[in-house]
Amino acid sequence: MKRVVFILKLLLAFIFAKAQSTAGITGVRDTSYNLLNEYNKHLKNYPNLQIIKEFPYQYIAEEKNISYCKTKERELKLDVFSPKEKSTNKRIAILFIHGGGWRSGNKAMHYPLLQQLAALGYVCFTPEYRLSTEALYPAAVHDIKSAIRWVRKNAAKYNIDVNKIAVSGHSAGGELAAFMGATNGMKQFEGDGCYKGISSKVNAVIDLDGTLAFIHPESGEGDDSKRISAATHWFGYSKTENPELWKQAAPLTHVGKHTPPTQFINSSVTRMHAGREDFINVLKQYKIYSEVRTFEGSPHTFILFNPWFDTTVVYMDKFLRRIFPDGQKKFSREITVAQDGSGDYTTVQAAINSITGKNSKPVAIIIKKGIYKEKLFLDSLKQFVSLVGEDKLSTVLTYNDHTGKIAPNGDTINTRTSWSFKIMADNFTAKDITFQNDAGFSAGQAVAVESDGDKAIFINCRFIGNQDVLFTNSEKSRQYYENCYIEGTTDFIFGSSTVWFEKCHIYSKKNSHVTAASTPKEKEFGYIFNFCKLEGDTSLSNVSLGRPWRPYAAVAYLRCYIGRHIKAEGWSVWNNNDNHLTSRYEEYNNYGPSSDPKARIKWAKQLTAEEAKKYTLINVLGGWNPLK
């Protein structure tokens, strides 16, 4: 009944309202909202602002300007970013809508975001839509509905689960994304677009600073005192001329039991999330999950820049993994650690100590956000333990021991006792955690993690420190790292284990060495970096890929991006000895500014395609598949 009354009121409003203005339909694209303008606008207030740039990921397929619908005015196009790697599991789709006041902006503005999300396994789409320079509301709504239907129509082609389609957007795009979720199943908003027989339903919404209400005490839309506002241009009416139309276009008007789980990622500009709390209250009535993430002190265009971009990616990924859980490991016991006392323990070591005897069943230690300054130890009896952080950027396990420091028992700490976390147990897993040694840049050797057990897995983790950060200290150990960030100065990845690094970001902070492998002679494989990204501080130009700690050191970089900080010859010797003469340093199909094989030292090898075939995950790790 309410909907009938609403439609009648809308019809009456149209009958008696002033004619819709088409003055804003210029036919000329408005380019005022762009990356450079936003950067220059905010640089004064945010001097450390960093523009996020596109990156040439070799494992992501990019398809540009695919036609998804044809209107009477023109053809509408979208871009696709998808993982090249085949997957037996159907993937989550993200359709991302650009902002710009429904009048400016373009789909290319968020390529870096979609690249990073695709690198995490999502299939990402970004459509153009008719802006207010060419068509008034609800043309943009109809276009996005058509784009969603196109995604669902092509689900098989992109290996997408049709029940896992998320829509997201920033600013005006965020408003449109929220509108898509709020109008799930409402035929009156489908329009006369393409693929009418296919559902435009979305299963999750991520709204980045998009308003939820146009006529609301918190709203800043509709001020035409100085110039025609973006919303007035879009509607063709001012707020007072046709308030019913302004209400109709608001996601808050339609939110209900049909609305999917929704995440709000917001700046400190409160008017950009007008109506949010009212929207959330409706979701609560129907027990629909929602969450709010706020960047205090940030500008509205936070998504375009660091220091907020990386965290936004983490927030989006974490939300989608919560909404669409896939293959979650089952645990016989879960232990929660929270510094505020809301968990089972307030320290990580206390949680570890609570696992008694020879453990043989999967146990999860869930660690809430916080900086946990503890020297942690996991003994060899406590197998099958998983550490799961709430957020890899703000769940931090750290300590500050380093060589030369005097320990509480009076001993002088050395490299092998400087660890912040030592893992002796087999079958250990860590996800979404930062491991750190915060001893400082000039402290010397200071290990963040020493990993000695067999079958260790680190997913979506960060390893932060300076010299000797990650110590893989057992020749019997096999380890797997995926989507991890590892930064340091000298020999910051070192040891004798067999380790596979998949799609990891390796960051150098000093002209020194990335690896110092000590692979035993009888071990065929040491460190393998596959599809990794090697970058460094902009001042660097003399970093080596590695130096051999022991004579038969084995390191291979396969299909990796080699940044300009790596020196042309690639590799280094170890303190003027002959270790390099028997070292096994190899590269295959690398790319980037410092990847030229012709400039490499003669005792390193460029693999042929045939020789590279032996480097498979299962072969390298001796039959163990960490992905199962």
Please name which of 407, 414, 520, 505 lies closest in space to residue 467, comparing C-alpha atoms. 414
Largest CA distance in the chain: 90
Give the Cα separation of 276 and 251 in Å (integer). Answer: 10
Q: Is the pLDDT of residue 568 over 70?
A: yes
Burial of residue 15 (number of CB atoms within 10 Å: 0-12, 13-18, 19+): exposed
> How many whole angstroms separate alpha carbon 239 and alpha carbon 222?
6
Q: Where does 455-506 have alpha helices with state H?
A: none
| Arithmetic mean of pLDDT, 564-589 | 96
Whether residue 610 has pLDDT greater than 70: yes
Q: Which of 207, 491, 537, 578 is catalytic?
A: 491
Radius of gyration of the chain (CA): 27
Judged against a pLDDT cut of 70, whether residue 10 lies above it is answered with: no
Is the Cβ–Cβ distance between 556 and 587 less than 8 Å? Answer: yes
Q: Which residue in 394, 391, 342, 405 sits closest to 372, CA to CA?
A: 394
Average pLDDT score over residue span 403-422: 96
Q: Which of 209, 411, 468, 537 is catalytic?
A: 468
CA 339 to chain centre: 26
Mean pLDDT (whole number) for 330-342:
94
Average pLDDT value for residue range 445-464: 98
Taking alpha carbons only, the member of 162, 163, 150 closest to residue 197 is 150
The pLDDT of residue 329 is: 66
Q: Convert 490-523 to b/e letters by CB count within 10 Å (16 or more is b).
A: bbbbbbbbbbbbbbbbbbbbbbbbbbbbbbeeeb
Six token digits for residue 363: 């146990």
Q: Which tens digit of pLDDT belongs to each residue from 113-155?
A: 999 999 999 999 999 999 999 999 999 999 999 999 999 999 9
What does the pLDDT read at residue 11? 47
At residue 318, the pLDDT reads 96
* Residue 356, SS3 per DSSP: coil
239-290 pLDDT per residue, tens: 999 999 999 999 999 999 999 999 999 999 999 999 999 999 999 999 999 9
Q: What is the pLDDT of residue 2?
A: 47
Annotation marks residue 468 as catalytic:
yes
Residue 330: the pLDDT is 77
In degrees to the nearest 10, what's the CA dihedral of 382, 385, 391, 393? 50
Share of the chain above pLDDT 90, in %: 92
Measured between alpha carbons, how far is 101 from 211 in angstroms, rounded to an integer? Answer: 11
Mean pLDDT value across residues 518-547: 98
Which pLDDT does position 357 carry in this prediction? 82
- The rounded mean pLDDT for the chain is 95
Beta bridge partners of 376: 421
In the predicted model, what is the mean pLDDT of residues 221-235? 93
Strands 561-562 and 554-558: unpaired
When pLDDT is cut at 50, 70 and 90, the band that residue 410 belongs to is: very high
Burial class, 90, CB count within 10 angstroms (exposed 0-12 / middle 13-18 / buried 19+) = middle
pLDDT of residue 227 exceeding 70, the answer is: yes
Query: What is the per-residue pLDDT across 151-199, written as a single tens digit (0 to 9) for each?
Result: 999 999 999 999 999 999 999 999 999 999 999 999 999 999 999 999 9
Q: Rounded CA gap, 358 and 382, in Å?
A: 6
Eight-class DSSP state of 416:
G
pLDDT band at 326 (very low <50, low <70, confident <90, very high): confident
Q: Domains, the chain, ranges and CATH?
A: 50-323 (3.40.50.1820), 373-620 (2.160.20.10)
pLDDT at 6 over 60: no
Q: Check residue 218 and report its DSSP letter.
A: T
In the annotation, is 491 catalytic? yes
Residues 88-105 have a mean pLDDT of 97
Is the peptide bond between 138 and the residue preceding it cis, with omega within 30 degrees of 0?
Answer: yes
Helix ranges, 292-381 (H):
309-323, 348-353
Query: Which pLDDT belongs to residue 576?
Result: 83
Tell me the mean pLDDT in the region 201-222: 95
Q: Which residues lie across from 204 on neighbouring strands? A: 166
Note whether 234 and 270 are within 8 A (CB). no
Tokens of 101: 């006041």
Structure tokens at 152: 């669902």
